[in-house]
Amino acid sequence: MSKPLSDHDRRKQISVRGLAGVDNVSELKQNFNRHLHFTLAKDRNVATRRDYYFALAHTVRDHLIGRWIRTQQYYYEKDPKRLYYISLEFYMGRTLQNTMVNLALENACDEATYQLGLDMEELEDMEEDAGLGNGGLGRLAACFLDSMASLGLAAYGYGIRYEFGIFNQKIMNGWQVEEADDWLRYGNAWEKARPEYMRPVRFYGRTEHQPDGVKWVDTQVVLALPYDTPVPGYRNNVVNTMRLWSAKAPCEFNLKDFNVGGYIQAVLDRNLAENISRVLYPNDNFFEGKELRLKQEYFVVSATLQDIIRRFKVSKFGSREIARTDFSKLPDKVAIQLNDTHPAMAIPELMRVLVDEEKLPWDKAWDVCVRTCAYTNHTVLPEALERWPVDLFAHLLPRHLEIIYEINRRHLENVAARFPGDNDRLGRMSLIEEGGQKRINMAHLCIVGSHAVNGVAQIHSDILKATVFKDFYEMEPQKFQNKTNGITPRRWLVMCNPGLAEVIAERIGEDFIRDLDQLESLRKFVNDEAFIRDVAKVKQENKLKFSVHLEEHYKVKINPNSMFDVQVKRIHEYKRQLLNCLHIITYYNRIKREPNKQWTPRTIMIGGKAAPGYHTAKMIIRLITAIGEVVNNDPVVGDRLKVIFLENYRVTLAEKAIPAADLSEQISTAGTEASGTGNMKFMLNGALTIGTMDGANVEMAEEAGEDNLFIFGMRVDDVDEMDRKGYHAHEYYNRLPELKQAIDQIAGGFFTPKQPDLFKEIVNMLMNHDRFKVFADYEDYIKCQEKVNALYKNPKEWTKKVIYNIAGCGKFSSDRTIAQYAREIWGMEPTLEKLPNPDKLL
């Protein structure tokens, strides 16, 4: 009997990880030791595992630097059109392994660390997640950066370098407790501060209207200090830049006017300015109109636009003199994409710069602005739309308020000319919402100030045109587009699931990694016994590996042969984790009623963070943990049903959980989830989907065949009709005995005997004011779950459906998404050409 392969030996056999040439390995070892000694000033005798991680990170980073400098030099020489992707969130996760994948260094680094007596996976585990995002929107921005570099686009991600990212979630006595995410505590090997590009950002003050134009005076200045992170494309020697701004007080801050004894206080008050980049607002799909948040939004926009204009003005590489002053050419050289309305201030700020500083006439400036900017909408939930109070603007950004009023005046003139006498329409389409407190509707500002507006899945884009932005669509239909979201197959397949990537590469080669449409050719293997076996085997290995992780962290014995049923996403009423809970309780009650029946065993995992101020979401977490306490300790149930709340769900945990999942829960009320991207990650990693016809689920069903997903529930039209007729939860409660039993158990303290009325608010919400109609889909959901159970008992047929799903994933690569943005919005052409490798030229 040959002894089983070690993890290291098994990893070595995976060709998609790159070649480990002898010269390569010995050079990496040399550089590793050099960094340990000279960069970290450590001797091997006293070095910690974290020191070894940093030594490895610097060693890998060395391979980026030449390519990074060469790429930026190339852009200066070629002077292509540049894309600026502005986002308040970039949810990057870890960087080390992704960099090794994109540079084909994984096997070489693995071998080098192994020869140095270290385990590379242990070192990778030392890296902190860069958690500068809440969920889908921030992770999408990170996938987009990977695709923009892999498609050779001259693109820059611009955002904020938050000192504290999304909070760490601890579960204590079943409740979520938040902990600050001090991710920079040990330093960040991947960023480079660029103080030479520091920019002033102004706030407050007042405006003076003078004959030669408008001046914004008596402002307070905060400095924006940029930190650059390299973004490598996939094996094409392109390295783009993500530039994140950090707030710094100017040296003279508060010192001009300090009194005797005020010096110390003046220095301490510098914190007030620097608070701008202190912390990420932890809300997903919810608007909180705080002054600090508006400051963050203007801070990133002002600093970024100064950078964009500086780069537009200077000529070829290394030259400082100004070459371009004709701003009518700006849209030929610059595209700005606004990731949701958070960077909407780019529109009035660009107008301010062009009109007040560059002295362009308004009409010329407006034409330039509209042709340069484009806006992506991410949600139709009314509570998520940004509506800033006018008086806050008047105080913080007085010049921008004047500009917005002027934009609105001209906009409403156009509306009145196009729809004479339609006063209701004028009110609906105004950028300023009257009544009570006057507010600025940032989505309206984005639509008026952009040449393209897109939703993020076909159904979402259709809903925008038919409802939320109907008036705008009727006026300028040519502006509205769809760009269905995607995910990068580098992180979400090659990196997190190398076993599956290898099984695929053995059949169709490695080119699918940069052209995911090639997965379509897996259809011909759907009845291939060996392929079916290989796919199932990889899934089982991933489940075993994740089971070990779970047992270490949750002290629950996992049955690795059970179906891994996973719902991971932010906790929100519209995502209907409560519907999942009702299925768990129903399944539990059925097992209890007939304990001797052959039930399909399940391990149900739910994970995600609740915004700290979102009371209902926190109660939903408490309900999940309460159900788990009862179910997991019931000897009658045994290992046929386990419920686990996955603590502190984040990018790095997703990379472990998703490859191990059998069933993906995508169960939002139809018409509420704009797209979803987790759904795509599960599909690509060999899970089947149970879901509603919402977001990108619709297109997933189209691509894989509706028979290969478990689709249930109301469609958008059914939901609309129910809104007209009225939704009456009590009717379902009285008609469906199993639903009634489950609700009565929650309400009566079955899961919390010591606090019997702990969940009375949740029950009251479900019975009396549930906007998301959980009960209306309950019956169909339970029936659909029965179909899931039946198919899982037939592993071969299950795996065939898995193969159809993987084969249908091509469309959901962010490479396809970005190629469409580039051609249809930005006026840029993607390329798969490689740049020369600068390391080979030395």
What is the rounded average pLDDT for all residues in the chain?
Answer: 95
Identify the weakest region by mean pLDDT among 314-323, 706-715, 742-751. Answer: 314-323
- Catalytic residue, chosen from 295, 575, 583, 773, is 575
Least confident of 269-278, 283-292, 493-502: 283-292
Catalytic, 569? Answer: yes
What backbone torsions phi and psi does residue 230 show, to the nearest 5 degrees?
Answer: -70, 145
Check pLDDT > 80 for residue 659: yes
Answer whether residue 180 shows pLDDT above 80: yes
The answer to whether 570 is a known catalytic residue is yes
397, 349 Cβ separation under 8 angstroms:
no
Share of the chain above pLDDT 90, in %: 91
DSSP reduced 3-state for 334: strand
Active site residue 11: no
- Indicate left, alpha or beta for 319 from its phi (over 0: left) and psi (-120 to 50: alpha): beta
Average pLDDT over residues 649-655: 98
CA–CA distance from 573 to each of 168, 285, 663, 690, 727 (Å)? Answer: 21, 11, 21, 18, 16
Q: Is the pLDDT of residue 527 over 60?
A: yes
Identity of residue 556: V
Q: Domain containing 719 — which CATH number? A: 3.40.50.2000
The pLDDT of 694-708, averaged and rounded, is 98
Burial-class residue 339 by CB neighbours within 10 Å (0-12, 13-18, 19+). buried
Question: Packing angle between helix 498-508 and helix 529-554, nearest 10 degrees?
Answer: 170
Residues 693 and 711: beta-carbon distance below 8 Å: yes
Query: pLDDT tens for residues 787-800?
Result: 999 999 999 999 99
Cα(760)–Cα(750) distance, integer angstroms: 12
Q: Which residues pair with 733 in a beta bridge?
A: none
At residue 667, φ and ψ (nearest 5 deg) are -120, 30
Which of these, 405, 297, 288, 277, lies nearest to 342 by C-alpha position? 297
> What tokens were used for 689?
């989907």
Helix axes 774-792, 737-748, angle to 10 degrees: 110
Using the predicted structure, report yes or no on whether residue 378 has a pLDDT greater than 60.
yes
| Residue 486, domain member (yes or no) | no
The one-letter amino acid code at 803 reads I
Nearest to 408 by CA among 372, 441, 437, 369: 441
Tell me whether residue 697 is in a domain: yes
* Residue 644: strand pairing partners: 605
What pLDDT is attached to residue 22? 72
Is the pLDDT at 18 greater than 90? The verdict is: no
Predicted confidence at residue 828, as pLDDT, reads 98
Chain centroid, CA 143 distance in Å: 8
The C-alpha atoms of residue 461 and residue 675 are separated, in whole angstroms, by 10
| Catalytic-labelled residue, pool 235, 248, 570, 622 | 570
Pairing of strands 387-389, 213-217: unpaired
Q: Does residue 677 carry a catalytic annotation?
A: yes
Query: For 817-837, what is the mean pLDDT?
Result: 97
Name the residue type at position 648: N
In a domain, 145, yes or no: no
Q: What is the arrangement of strands in the sheet containing 663-666, beginning at the earlier edge strand?
A: 641-646, 602-607, 563-568, 663-666, 688-691, 710-711
Q: 163 and 275 in contact (C-beta within 8 Å)?
A: no
Which of 569, 576, 602, 640 does the annotation list as catalytic?
A: 569
Residues 6+ apart with CB under 8 A from 530: none
Cβ atoms within 10 Å of 21's Cβ, excluding its own: 12
What integer pLDDT is reported at residue 266 of this predicted model? 87
Residue tagged active-site, from 11, 67, 94, 378: 378
E strand spans, 256-415: 334-339, 373-376, 387-389
Q: How far is CA 290 from CA 293, 294, 383, 558, in A?
A: 5, 7, 15, 45
113 flagged as catalytic: no
Residue with tokens 């009658």: 636
The structure tokens 């004959």 sit at 211
Assess if residue 68 is contained within a domain: no
Question: What distances in angstroms separate CA 57 from CA 116, 479, 576, one per listed residue?
Answer: 15, 44, 40
pLDDT in tens, 285-344: 888 889 999 999 999 999 999 999 999 998 654 556 667 889 999 999 999 999 999 999
- The pLDDT tens digits for 414-472 are 999 999 999 999 999 999 999 899 999 999 999 999 999 999 999 999 999 999 999 99
pLDDT over 80 (residue 840):
no
Q: Look at residue 647 and tell me if it is in a domain.
A: yes
- Do residues 308 and 336 lie in contact, with contact meaning Cβ atoms separated by under 8 Å? yes
Tokens of 452: 């393209």
Q: Domain range holding 594?
A: 560-806
- Taking a C-beta distance cutoff of 8 angstroms, is the pair 108, 14 a contact? no
Whether 484 is in a domain gets the answer no
Mean pLDDT within 163-167: 98
The confidence band for 246, taking pLDDT boundaries of 50, 70 and 90, is: very high
* Direct distance between the N- and C-terminal alpha carbons of the chain, in angstroms, rounded to an integer: 49
* Alpha carbons 545 and 562: distance in angstroms, whole number: 14
The catalytically annotated residue of 586, 625, 677, 692 is: 677
In a domain, 107, yes or no: no
17 secondary structure, DSSP code: G
Q: Are 746 and 604 in contact (CB under 8 A)?
A: no
Q: Which residues contact 794 (CB under 8 A, 6 or more apart)?
A: none
Note the residue count of the chain: 842
Residue 42 catalytic? Answer: no
Name which of 137, 140, 613 is nearest 381 in CA terms: 137
Q: Report pTM.
A: 0.96
Rounded to whole angstroms, the Cα distance separating 680 from 126 reads 28
546 exposure class (CB count in 10 Å sphere: 0-12, 13-18, 19+):
buried
Q: Among 434-438, 491-495, 533-537, 798-802, which is the least confidently predicted range?
A: 434-438
- How high is the pLDDT of residue 290? 94
Cα–Cα distance for residue pair 801/705, rounded to 1 Å: 9
765 within domain boundaries: yes
User: H or E element: which one contains 703?
Assistant: helix 697-704
Residue 257 burial (CB < 10 Å; 0-12/13-18/19+)?
exposed
Q: What is the band of 602 on the pLDDT scale with cuts at 50, 70, 90? A: very high
Instruction: Give the pairing of strands 480-482 and 452-455.
Output: parallel
> In the prediction, which pLDDT does 265 show?
86
Q: State the pLDDT confidence band at 3, using cuts at 50, 70 and 90.
A: low
Return the pLDDT at 342: 98
For residue 258, is pLDDT > 70?
no
Task: Give burial (CB, 10 Å; 0-12/13-18/19+) of 621.
Answer: buried
Confidence category of residue 284, pLDDT binned at 50, 70, 90: confident
Which pLDDT score, from 0 to 100, does residue 257 have? 63
- pLDDT confidence of residue 358: 97
Tell which residue, 102, 108, 101, 100, has the closest CA to residue 24: 108
Rg of the chain over CA atoms, in angstroms? 28
Going by their DSSP bridges, the two strands 452-455 and 373-376 should be labelled as parallel
The one catalytic residue in 94, 491, 572, 681 is 681
pLDDT of residue 318: 53
611, amino acid identity:
A
Surface-to-core class of residue 50, CB atoms within 10 Å of its CB (0-12 exposed, 13-18 middle, 19+ buried): middle
Q: What secondary structure letter does DSSP report for 691?
A: E
Label the pairing between strands 439-441 and 432-433: antiparallel
Give the lowest-confidence range in 311-325, 541-555, 734-748, 800-814: 311-325
Q: Are 486 and 493 in contact (CB under 8 A)?
A: no
Split into its structural domains, the chain has a count of 1
